[in-house]
Amino acid sequence: MTKTNTNTNSKATDATITLKEAVELSGLSSVYVRRAVLEGKLPSTKVPVGDTKVVRHEIKMSDFEAWRASTTHRGRRSDGRNRYLLYGTPEEIEALKKLLADSSIEVQITVPNSKRREAKTEVENA
C-alpha cells in the first residue's frame, strides 16, 4: 500500500512505504529492517495511527532505495559462519579445486595451518 505524501512544505511529492512493505521489497527479515530503522540507518517518520498513542514508521521510497543500495549485507553472513569446513588429503583438496574450477563455481579454498602441516611432514620424512 504505497502512499503519496502531499506535504505543502515539500516541493516534490515522495511515495512512502510502511515497515512491512520495506521488508517485502528488500527480501530481508523484519528484525533486520526494524533494527536499521531504530538505529537510524534507514530514515523514517513516525506517524500516529488514528486517535491513539500508537505510531507507525513511514519510509520515503527514495530513502529506502538509498539505504538498500548502500547496504552491503545482501543476506549472506560476513563473519565466516556461512562457510564449510572440509577435511581431506592434499590430493583430495586438489581434486576438489579442479572439480570446482571445471564447474565454474567461484569459491575460495583455504588450507589452514598449511605451513605447520608441511613442517610436520618434513620432520616425519627426515
CATH of the domain at 38: 1.10.1660
Q: Tell whether 13 and 65 lie within a shared domain.
A: yes
The 10s digit of each residue's pLDDT in 9-26 is 443 457 999 999 999 988
User: What's the structural domain count of the chain?
Assistant: 2
The 10s digit of each residue's pLDDT in 44-68 is 999 998 898 899 999 999 999 999 8
Q: What is residue 28's DSSP assignment?
A: S
What pTM, to 2 d.p., does this model score?
Answer: 0.48
Question: Which are the contacts of 2, defined by CB distance < 8 A and separation ≥ 6?
Answer: 15, 16, 17, 21, 61
Q: Tell whether 97 and 66 lie within a shared domain.
A: no
Q: Is residue 84 part of a domain?
A: no
**How many CB atoms lie under 10 A from the CB of residue 45?**
13
Task: Quote the domain boundaries for residue 107.
Answer: 90-125
Q: Tell whether 64 and 99 lie within a shared domain.
A: no
The 10s digit of each residue's pLDDT in 83-122 is 667 778 888 888 888 888 888 777 777 766 655 555 444 4
Q: Is residue 78 part of a domain?
A: no
- What is the layout of strands, in order, in the sheet containing 14-18? 3-5, 14-18, 55-60, 45-48
